Every structure is written in structure tokens, then in C-alpha cells.
Amino acid sequence: MSGHSTYNPTSGFGKFMDKRLPLARLVHDSFVSYPVPRNLNAFYTFGAILMIMLVSQIITGVVIAMHYTADAGIAFESVQLLRRDVSYGGLLQNWHAVGASMFFVAVYVHIFRGLYYGSYKEPREVLWILGVIIYLLMMATAFMGYVLPWGQMSYWGAQVITSFFSAIPLVGETIREYLLGGYSVGNATLNRFFSLHYLLPFMIAGIVILHVWTLHVTGQTNPTGVEVKSKQDVLPFTPYATIKDAFFVVLFMMVMCYFVFFLPDYLGHADNYIPADPLKTPAHIVPEWYFLPFYAILRAIDFNIVVPFTEIVLIDSKLGGVLAMFGAIVVLFFVPWLDTSDVRSTNYRPMYKIFFWLFVINSIFLGYLGSRPAEGIWIPLMKASTFWYFFHFLVIMPALGFFEKPLARPASITDAVLAKASNSGASQIEGTAAEPNTKG
Amino acid sequence: MKTLFSRLAKHAVVAVLGASVLVGGAFAAEEDGGTPHYPLQKPREQSWSFGGPFGHFDKGQLQRGLKVYTEVCAACHSMNLLSYRNLEDLGYTTDQIKNYAAEYEVTDGPNEDGEMFERPARPTDRFKGPYANDKEAAAANNGALPPDFSLLAKARAPERGFPTFIFDVFTAYAENGPDYIYSLLTGYQEAPEGKEVGEGLSYNPYFIAGTALAMAPPLSDDLVDYDDGTPQTVDQYAKDVSAFMMWAAEPGLPQRKQQGFIVLLFLAVFAGLLYFTKKKVWSDVAH
């Protein structure tokens, strides 16, 4: 943490504990006196929103697990009994299912915010990498959670996703069998997925603690991308960030509740209201919406990669698709080094700004393509869109740093804030800004 | 340097967009001959009492739907997830439900002699299906298993397509299932010329998984007697049974929407208070 602790216990008990287990000091330093840049915008509240979402998913999940039965024969019905016969069971189940979707909505906003404001750049590389690990764990958790209701999409989604592992040469089949606990998706699969679905959120919580720790070591970025230089640049976390986070958390809750109470099935797939049937393949197997961009990338690779001028297949289309799909996530780990520009905030990068928004549009388009069948016009579009995804990270990001001429950046956060205030004709006087380490 | 590259960047954008349009044009033609997408016709949207943010079930309609289900559909379709006691939602008294249940015989046991025995169903029993198991059900219907009714209104949702699926968020449209069932039940027609329909199948452009389905048109005018003066037409039967199936799929639907209204109201007030508190807290700081 920047600066030394300002925690000052007053009660006897507080002093006693502070010498033995300074938990109150840790909380005070992390969430009360911790200095945050004064110019953070609403996008910076998504960290708090994600914290709330994780806790809400764990609490609802623990209660649902009290009613759920992980047995291929009755799993589907146990979810229905929860919805129909348990007090507030329907609400609980909708909240958990919609909550998973909203968790991803929030994490995507959070990731794009990080990409826009260069939150991955020196000295925040580890912070970013921990974030990508959380994202990976979230995907694993969400996928296994989706299998648990044991509907048609649960079953066939599990079938498709576990088959990725069989694409690995030599050991693929063995890995897949270990994963499934048999030769195909069945009761053993359901049991281990349930166990892991209960385990992974706590691993996420552990990494979130590291994520927040690294954040509090490096300090937050801010929309100017200029590091904190003086005490005037920052405000104490409480009350400034706390109240702002609370406001946006409640706004986010409103969006979530709209879906929970009025459109609980909108984000899911109707086929999951049909019990799993190993003998009946659904017409189109599609994953949850938050995996669709990766599903499009997977299916974009429909060709074998051969040694030039021969028939020898180096990478067949299945392995190629799987590699591309995992590559789309792996590339995120290298973003801190792929971006060669030393300007953090995209606000001051006129060309990158265009490419950033192109990337956002392309990602959403990839998501739409993921929901389309792999036929006709959609295949070349999937290829073009996949190409652009990698082109952005592997070519545009490294190249722009060398060519782009950034705009003039403010000397400090305070300068930027005051310039903005005087431009908008506000009469606020600088100087009343809090002394961050003494307030609260 | 800067202008050169921003120009390059703009060209890149135009090129990518242009290429995708070209590619799109080239392949759009191919799609016409590709795999057809079902249903051939989208469900016709109806106005339902349970639609919208203040939706509720029309008990009269549900009672009529139950009658259609009991007298027509239940001959082939089970409704495993519901118990007779659930009929309370439809406005029936405990005695009425007891009488309704008692018309069915269920297997219970073993008794003290270790034997299974038949007894009249009680309100706590699940709805008794027409067949002993799925195999028997399929065998009795030329191999086509009649789907269970419990969740059908949620399990059938033909794709809405772009951009309709975006508008649906704002109109809170969630009646795709009952619209589909209604459209299917009233959508049987003569197969168009040159269209082959397999033996034992009936042509229906609203069917989600093909051009024809194994279920023959189940409804006809005056098939079920309504004692409340409601018209005894296929259209009315189809609507009533679709509404009934929506209830079966989610009996708690109206409560969910009521809760939602209160929750959103609370959150809106809370958000308002937080907004003004935030404004006050930040009032002495330029940001």
C-alpha cells in the first residue's frame, strides 16, 4: 500500500487486537484510507460490482446446493422441485442463473475498461495476468454450472466442450476420459462437475484477493493514464469511492433484477428445459452467450494445416480450431508486452482509439456469429472476424506503438481535473480536496 | 507520419467492412439452397394475460385449458412435474381437487402383506400419465414419444432473429413458448403442392423440427364443452390450453412479476438516495 498506515485504534479492545491480529488495520488501510485517483469514472466501479456478483453467486449457490441432487437420473427434476416447491426457490434459481450471465456482463465491461485505459501496462502486468486467470476460472465454473441442471444443452454442451481435449495429439483421449469419468458424458461426469463447480468459486475468491492486493500495491489507473503524483491527485477510498461504488452497484442490480424477475429465460436456451437425452442431438448446439465469440473462433478453423506442397497434415481442423480458441484467451496473457506504446490511456491515442472500438465491435460480432450455424455465409464471416481478433493483438497493438503520435497529456491528474472544471465553467475551487491519508 | 497512418487506419476499416459485404453477397445466394431452418413460419404473437410486467393468469382460461388438457391432450401427453394439489392455483377448492384426483387410479404400496395395490389418486399425487413409461408411450404412437407437458411452454422457443431479439429486452417479451404452441395447434394445413409428407405425419409450417409432425390435428370445433359461454372453436381451445401450459411450466409466474415490481421500486428509491448522497460527498471536490 502506498503510504504508511493511518489506522488509530481508540478502544481498549481495538488496541489489544491491533498488537496481535491487526485485521481492523488491514481493512482500514484497504477500504477506508486507501487513496484512489480523484478522476475515476463509472467504468471503474465494475471491480466492486464484480465483488458483489461473486459473493451473490456463492451465497445463492450454497443454498441451491442444499436442494440440488447430482445424479443423472434426478438432477433435472431436483432443479424443478427447487423452482416449484421450495420457498423462493424459483427466485433463487433465476438469480443464480441470470447472475452468472450478469457476472460475465460485468467482467467484459471490466476487461474492456482495462484495455481502453491501459490498465495492463507497467507496473500492472501481474495485476492484469491475475485478472485473466480469474476470467479463465470463471469460464470453467460457468461451463460446469451450466451442466448441472442436466438439460439437453447441458448435456450436449458438455459433450462438445470436453471433446476439445480429445483433439490434443496422443494423450487427448485419455485426458477426456479422466475428465468425464468414462467414455462419454454420464453420471460420473455430473458428479465431478458438481464437485468442481463448488470448488472453483473459492479459488476465484482466493485469486481475487491477490488481484486486489496487487491493485493496492500499484494503485489504480485513471482515465488520464498519468500516475498519481501528489496527494492532491487522490481521495480516500471512504467515503468517496465507497459511495460511488454503492450507487453503481445498485444501478447494476436494477438491470440484473429486470432480467431475474421479468426475463429470467432470455439469456438461457429453451432446450435446457428438456431433460438430457443421450440419444437425441439438438438441431443446433450452442453454448451460453458469453462463450459465443470463442465458439465462433473454434468453428472458423475448418481446414487442415499441411506441410506446404505435400499432403502431410500438421494440424487437423479440429486441433486447429481448439488451438485458435484457447489462443484467443492465451493472447490476453501477453497483452502487457504486445502493446508497445508507453501511453496508457486510449484517450490520448487517436489511432488506437479507432482500432479499440473496431475491436469491441468485432468481438460483439464474433458473439453473434457464434450463435449462427457453421454454414453458408457465416463461415467466411467467422474467418474474417477471427482473423481481425488476432490481427488486433498480434499486429496492430505492437505496431501502433512505433508509429502513433500521441496527443499531449496533462501534467498530472489534478491538472486534468482542473482543466475540465474550468472548461465546463464550474466554480469549484481546488484545494478543498481531501488530504487522503488523514480523512475517514 | 500521423496523417499517413490515420489514413491507413481508415482505409483498413473500409476494406474490412467492404470485404465482409462482398463475401456476404457472394455467399447469400448459396444459403437459399442450403439446409432449411425450422419452423418455416414464425409463431403468431398473441396477447396473453400473463404477458408484460403486470402479467397474471386468467383463472377462467386456465380452468378451460385444464378441461382441454384432461379431455384431449392427456390421452397421450403426461404432465409429470405437477401434482393435483397444484390445481389450487386455478381457483379450485380442496374438495374439487380431491374429486378430480379421485378419478385416477394410482399404484401404491407395498402394503403390510408386501403387495402393491391400486387406490384413487390424492391431491398430493403427481398427475397420472396415460402410459406406464416412455417406451410404452412411444410404442403406442408409432415410435414418436409425445412430450411431457410440464415444461413444454418454456422448452419451445423458435429463434426470434436479429434485430427482434434486441427489442425483446425492452418489451420484456417472454411469451415465445405459448405463441408457438398456439400457432402449432392452429397451424395445420394442406401440404403445398410438390411437398411430400411422410406416412402418419401432418404438415404444419409452424413445427419447430421439420415440415410435418407425428401428432395429427388434435382439436376441432365443439370438441370440448365449455360451460361459461366461451366460443368452442379450435382457436379458443388452442389459446386456453397454451395458457394452461404456461401455468404448468411456471405456476409462480405472477408472483415473480409482482416481486420484481416491488424489488425494482425499492432499488430505484435506494439508487436515488445513493445518488444524492454521492453528490453531497463529492460536492467539495472537483473531479
Query: Taking the CB of residue B229, how many other CB atoms lie within 10 A of it?
Result: 6
Judgement on whether residues A267 and A329 belong to the same structural domain of the protein: no
DSSP-derived letter for residue A209 is H
The dihedral of CA B73, B76, B82, B83: what is its sign?
positive
pTM of this prediction?
0.91
Q: Which of helix, strand or coil describes residue B120?
A: strand
- What is d(CA A383, CA A368) in angstroms, rounded to the nearest whole number? 13
pLDDT in tens, A346-392: 999 999 999 999 999 999 999 999 999 988 999 999 999 999 999 99
> What is the structure's pLDDT at B9?
52
Contacts of A427 (CB under 8 A, 6+ apart): none
Judgement on whether residues A279 and A148 belong to the same structural domain of the protein: yes
- What is d(CA A290, CA A68) in angstroms, rounded to the nearest whole number? 24
Residue A318 Ramachandran class (φ > 0 left, ψ -120 to 50 alpha, else beta)? alpha
A162 vs A141, A144, A178, A193, A322, CA distance in Å? Answer: 14, 11, 10, 12, 11
> What is the structure's pLDDT at A315?
87
CA distance B271 to chain A (A): 6
Contact A273 B2 (CB under 8 A): no
CA distance A410 to chain B (A): 14
Nearest CA in chain A to B256: A261
- What is d(CA B24, CA B34) in angstroms, rounded to the nearest whole number? 15
User: What are the chain B neighbours of A418 within 8 Å (beta carbons)?
Assistant: 286
Residue A305, beta-bridge partner list: A315
Contacts of B75 (CB under 8 A, 6+ apart): B130
The answer to whether residue A11 is domain-embedded is: no
Contact A23, A90 (CB under 8 A): no
- Residue B71 C-alpha cell reads as 379431455
Contact A80 B249 (CB under 8 A): no
Residue B107, beta-bridge partner list: B118
The answer to whether residue A355 is domain-embedded is: yes
Which of these, A202, A217, A251, lies nearest to A45 by C-alpha position? A251
Helices (H) and strands (E) in chain B, counts: 9, 4
pLDDT in tens, A295-354: 999 999 999 888 888 888 888 889 999 999 999 999 999 999 999 999 999 999 999 999
Judgement on whether residues A166 and A189 belong to the same structural domain of the protein: yes
The answer to whether residue A419 is domain-embedded is: yes
Contact B9 A384 (CB under 8 A): no
User: What are the chain B neighbours of A283 within 8 Å (beta carbons)?
Assistant: 38, 209
Question: Cell numbers 455467399 correspond to what residue?
Answer: B27
Contact A384 B257 (CB under 8 A): no
ipTM for the assembly: 0.90
- What is d(CA A37, CA A224) in angstroms, rounded to the nearest whole number? 10
> What is the structure's pLDDT at B6?
54
The answer to whether residue A6 is domain-embedded is: no
CA distance A128 to chain B (A): 26
The answer to whether residue A347 is domain-embedded is: yes
Contact B256 A404 (CB under 8 A): no
Judgement on whether residues A187 and A310 belong to the same structural domain of the protein: no
Residue A105 belongs to domain with CATH number: 1.20.810.10
CA distance B14 to chain A (A): 11
- Residues of chain B predicted below pLDDT 50: 1-2, 4, 16-33
User: What are the chain B neighbours of A379 within 8 Å (beta carbons)?
Assistant: 27
Mean pLDDT score of chain A: 93
Contacts of B231 (CB under 8 A, 6+ apart): none
pLDDT tens for the 440 residues of chain A, in order: 445 788 999 999 999 999 999 999 999 999 999 999 999 999 999 999 999 999 999 999 999 999 999 999 999 999 999 999 999 999 999 999 999 999 999 999 999 999 999 999 999 999 999 999 999 999 999 999 999 999 999 999 999 999 999 998 899 999 999 999 999 999 999 999 999 999 999 999 999 999 999 999 999 999 999 999 999 999 999 999 999 999 999 999 999 999 999 999 999 999 999 999 999 999 889 999 999 999 999 999 999 888 888 888 888 889 999 999 999 999 999 999 999 999 999 999 999 999 999 999 999 999 999 999 988 999 999 999 999 999 999 999 999 999 999 999 999 999 999 888 887 654 444 444 433 333 33
SS3 labels along B193-222? CCCCCCCCCEECCCCCCCCEECCCCCCCCC
The answer to whether residue A356 is domain-embedded is: yes
Judgement on whether residues A78 and A117 belong to the same structural domain of the protein: yes
Nearest CA in chain B to A350: B6
Contact B278 A247 (CB under 8 A): yes
- What is d(CA A275, CA A268) in angstroms, rounded to the nearest whole number? 15
- What is d(CA A403, CA A392) in angstroms, rounded to the nearest whole number? 15
CA distance A264 to chain B (A): 9
Judgement on whether residues A353 and A409 belong to the same structural domain of the protein: yes
- What is d(CA B212, CA B40) in angstroms, rounded to the nearest whole number? 11
Cβ-based burial of A1 (10 A; exposed 0-12, middle 13-18, buried ≥19): middle
- Residue B115 C-alpha cell reads as 403387495
Judgement on whether residues A274 and A351 belong to the same structural domain of the protein: no
User: Mutation test of the interface with chain A: which of B11, B127, B151, choosing the one with the most A Cβ atoms within 10 A?
Assistant: B151
User: Mutation test of the interface with chain B: which of A102, A234, A247, A415, choosing the one with the most B Cβ atoms within 10 A?
Assistant: A247
> What is the structure's pLDDT at A3?
55
Question: Cell numbers 495492463 correspond to what residue?
Answer: A120
Q: Which contacts of A283-288 are long-range, i.e. CB under 8 A and separated by 24 or more positions? A: A283/B38, A283/B209, A284/A373, A285/A153, A285/A156, A285/A157, A285/A159, A285/A160, A286/A153, A286/A370, A286/A371, A287/A143, A287/A146, A287/A157, A287/A160, A287/A161, A287/A370, A288/A100, A288/A101, A288/A142, A288/A143, A288/A146, A288/A157
> What is the structure's pLDDT at B10?
55
Query: Using CB atoms, which residue from A91, A239, A426 is nearest to B281?
Result: A239
Judgement on whether residues A280 and A304 belong to the same structural domain of the protein: no
B190 vs A145, B193, B195, B204, B211, CA distance in Å? Answer: 45, 9, 10, 8, 11
Cα B53 to chain centroid distance, Å, stands at 17
User: What are the chain A neighbours of B257 within 8 Å (beta carbons)?
Assistant: 261-262
Contact A433 B5 (CB under 8 A): no
| CB-facing half-sphere around the CA of B15: CA atoms within 13 A | 7
Judgement on whether residues A208 and A335 belong to the same structural domain of the protein: no
User: What are the chain B neighbours of A384 within 8 Å (beta carbons)?
Assistant: 16, 19-20, 23
CA distance B200 to chain A (A): 21
Contact B9 A270 (CB under 8 A): no
The answer to whether residue A140 is domain-embedded is: yes
- What is d(CA B233, CA B238) in angstroms, rounded to the nearest whole number? 8
Q: What percentage of residues in chain A have a pLDDT greater than 70?
A: 95
User: Mutation test of the interface with chain B: which of A95, A266, A372, A383, choosing the one with the most B Cβ atoms within 10 A?
Assistant: A266
Judgement on whether residues A125 and A272 belong to the same structural domain of the protein: yes
- What is d(CA A104, CA A297) in angstroms, rounded to the nearest whole number? 19
Cα A220 to chain centroid distance, Å, stands at 18
Which of these, A179, A114, A103, lies nearest to A138 by C-alpha position? A103
Contact B284 A432 (CB under 8 A): yes
Contacts of A369 (CB under 8 A, 6+ apart): A292, A296, A378, A381, A382, A385
Contact B274 A243 (CB under 8 A): yes
Contact A380 B23 (CB under 8 A): yes
Contact B264 A39 (CB under 8 A): no
Judgement on whether residues A148 and A266 belong to the same structural domain of the protein: yes
Q: How many domains does one find in chain A?
A: 2
Which of these, B35, B19, B157, lies nearest to A373 by C-alpha position? B35
The domain of A211 spans: 29-227+237-285
The answer to whether residue A435 is domain-embedded is: no
- What is d(CA A227, CA B195) in angstroms, rounded to the nearest whole number? 71
- Residue A376 C-alpha cell reads as 453458408
Judgement on whether residues A269 and A388 belong to the same structural domain of the protein: no
